Amino acid sequence: MSRSFAAHKPLADQAIVVFGASSGIGRVTALRAAARGAHVLAVGRDEAALDSLVAEAAPGRVVPATAEASDPAEVQGVADLAVATFGRLDTWAHVAGVAEYARFDDTTAEEFRRVVEVDRLGPVWGAKASLPYLRSGGGGAYVVVSSEVAKRGFPLASSYSAAKHGVDGFVEALRVELQKEEAPVSVTQIMPAAVDTPFFEHARTRLGVRPSGPPPVYSPEKVADAILRAAEHGGRDVAVGSAAKAQLALQRLSPRLVDAASRVAAFRLQRSDEPKDAGDDALFESPDGDDRVHGVVSNLHR
């Protein structure tokens, strides 16, 4: 039986941090939260994209802020800014992430470290910064967008898989600690399958081509809706997309069978036909003005 003491407000009464709001899932989450009446602190690295988000959102509902997810001081500054601006913090939605697609042997130590610092430690710093405010404000939700690879690693994405496995272990431990103290805060991990966002275009690649998500590919709006449901109602581990649900079920049933399927299909399905060089990405540097919600990865355009 799940045990939770979390307290959640209707979205229209919430102040929400969306960390990773420049494009993709985070951007559409911020837009939909604002449209439903929430006050949103939209955080990212791309200042131009955040400015366009403010212009696109419901008037007066979105405040932009730039911060680096791997820097605990900057992440703490985001939480402090949210409370200084809105007087409270009700949901922390951590969406920011980077990736590299390469064989492990071709991944440099610096690249592996960068993915882990952003994708594993970023959510840790988000929890460290937000939990005191969530507790003292009467409760709320800590939501982190992870991935289906949190439970089953993919070849050619060893650094990303390692980081997301770390998030899975972290939120499991954190959730039980909060339950033990009867804290009014829910901890939800959102685990999508492949999503049609600029994520794959921003990822570093050593495959010689743009990486791609294995089909079927889902809309970022579907993931945003899962995040906002968690903001209002909590939840535990939420798989988004039938492919993610099937992958996780098969992993529980037979990891060896998933090994075999990955050897046959995963290498091919994570490669597009579009040439791309390593370094043409957002692993270390922010994109400049890329404010798209959708990318080029779909079931028809791979």
Task: Count the alpha carbons within 13 Å of 210 in the hemisphere toward its beta carbon.
Answer: 19
For residue 205 the two structure tokens come to: 């690649």
Under 8 Å between Cβ of 272 and 212: yes
For residue 240 the two structure tokens come to: 């988004």
Torsion angle, alpha carbons of 37, 38, 41, 45, to 10? -70
Is 218 marked active-site?
Answer: no
Which residue is catalytic, options 101, 133, 142, 160? 160
Would you name the residues annotated as active-site residues? 160
